[in-house]
Structure 1
Amino acid sequence: MTRTLLIVDDDQKTRNLLKTYLEKQQYDVRVAHDGASFMVEFERFKDDLSLVILDVMLPDTDGFTLCQAVRKQSTVPIIILTASADYTDRIVGLELGADDYIAKPYNPRELLARIKAIHRRMQLAGPGASARYLRFAGFTMDLVERQLHDPQGAAVILTSMDFNLLRFFAEHAGETLDRGRLMEQTRGRDLGPLDRSLDVQISRLRQRLHDDGKQPALIKTIRGSGYVFSADVSASADA
Structure 2
Amino acid sequence: MAPSDRYLKAWDGFWEESSGSQGEPFWDAPAALTAERDLALLEPYADPRLPIADLGCGNGTQTRFLATRFAAAIGVDLAEAAVAHARRADPAGLASYERLDLTDAPAARALHDRLGDTHVYLRAVLHQSDPEDRPAVAASVAALLGDTGRALVLEPTDRAETVLHTLGPTPKLLRVRQHDLRPGRVADGEVAELLRGAGLRVLEQGPTALAMSEVREDGTPVELPARWFVAAKG
Q: Same fold (TM over 0.5)?
A: no
Bigger CA radius of gyration: 1
TM-score scaled by length of structure 1: 0.34
